Amino acid sequence: MEETAIKVNRGGFVISLDFELNWGVHDVFRHGQYDENLYGVRYALPKILTLFEKYGIHATWATVGLLFAETKDEMAHYLRGIPVKYEKKRYAAHLQLANVGVNEQDDPLHFGKSLIEEIMRTPHQEIGTHTFSHYYCVENGQTEDDFRADLQATTLISADYIAPMKSIVFPRNQVNTSYFEACLEVGLVCYRGNETHALYSPKKFTKKSRLLGAMKWLDSYVNITGNHLIRLEEMKKDVFVNVRSSAFLRPYCKRLSVLEGLKVRRIKEGMLAAAKAEAFYHLWWHPHNFGKYTEKNLAILEELLRYFRELQTTYNFQSYSMHEVAMLCQQ
């Protein structure tokens, strides 16, 4: 990752992406059901990086540690040291090994080291952690010791390739405050918390209702819960810095294409409010969200990045990775 001087803060645009490939969805979709999106990451991710470089975007790529592995045997080696015993057995990553190929050339859905290297070659990109095994921090059966073992696996498998990671995004946004000490012990300094509204509070995956999902979906198009701005003064209060989420960039949906303008306007309103208030606006999504309808999604992203440039010119609204925001909190 290229080192960069931190600019004087007058608000900023934060982007993070949850980079997980099939490790993030193997317990959601039937085998092969989501392959179009996952295979599409190989095309979409470099295009996203090109746009980031074009518009000077600093971003955090919260990466599942298993994607660093070069072989199936290497994955198995590290997973043996993480004795996670979820009550819902299907959540466990090691059970997915039966569907994993021998290496990245054989299986582009479970390996991602070449993509990680492409991210690292792009200026101003941070590699953060999305845990090693897409670890669920509030599900029944798992323990803090299991979580520590998972963090250790990420540290070990990435040690020869990148600098120690500083940012974490908890899978499924299951932020568990009891695990913050473990994060600090391995050198992490910040995390992406959830929006401060009951709709977005951390929940067990099995507890999510259709009504909750519908309300969160609606909030992406119509401002129900606010703009969720983050202020530096607020973040400075925490030892483990909460670079809280402002919005999820929902992927293009053909059936709802007439609503895409509302979605973009909702995000732009938040960005403008942050720029005027000298606050931060944190947008996130998964690369696999762009794996289908890639050009449509890239066009939406570029519209938002063009708008960022306008705000940068007018309000000195800058681009930050999560770690860069945490560094500002130390000044």
Provide the residue count of the chain: 331
In this prediction, residue 303 carries a pLDDT of 98
Q: 69 pLDDT band (50/70/90 cuts)?
A: very high
In this prediction, residue 145 carries a pLDDT of 96
Q: 10 pLDDT band (50/70/90 cuts)?
A: low
Say if residues 196 and 247 touch (Cβ distance below 8 Å).
Answer: no
Say if residues 186 and 180 touch (Cβ distance below 8 Å).
Answer: no
Q: 102 pLDDT band (50/70/90 cuts)?
A: very high
Give yes or no for residue 32 having a pLDDT over 90.
no
> pTM score > 0.85 for this model?
yes
Q: By 3-state DSSP, what share of the chain in percent is helix, strand and coil, each rounded to 5? A: 50, 10, 40
Q: Which residue has the higher pLDDT, 32 or 53?
A: 53
Say if residues 293 and 136 touch (Cβ distance below 8 Å).
Answer: no
Q: What's the average model confidence in pLDDT over 225-230?
A: 96
Over its C-alpha atoms, the chain yields an Rg (Å, rounded) of 19
The pair of three-digit structure tokens given for residue 143, joined into one six-digit string: 């323990």
Residue type, 13: F
Q: What's the average model confidence in pLDDT over 232-248?
A: 96
CA angle 122, 124, 128 (to 5 degrees): 95
Give yes or no for residue 207 having a pLDDT over 60.
no
Alpha-helical (H) ranges within 20-174 are 35-54, 72-79, 113-121, 144-158
In this prediction, residue 208 carries a pLDDT of 55
In this prediction, residue 203 carries a pLDDT of 81
3-state secondary structure of 97: helix
- The burial of 60, by beta-carbon neighbours within 10 Å (0-12 exposed, 13-18 middle, 19 or more buried), is given as buried
Average pLDDT across the chain, whole number? 94
Taking the C-alpha atoms of residue 161 and residue 86, their distance in angstroms, rounded to an integer, is 31
Give yes or no for residue 123 having a pLDDT over 90.
yes
Q: How far is CA 170 from CA 176, 183, 272, in A?
A: 8, 11, 27
> What would the pLDDT profile of 138-178 be if each residue is shown by its tens digit?
999 999 999 999 999 999 999 999 999 999 999 999 999 99
> What would the pLDDT profile of 277-321 be if each residue is shown by its tens digit?
999 999 999 999 999 999 999 999 999 999 999 999 999 999 999
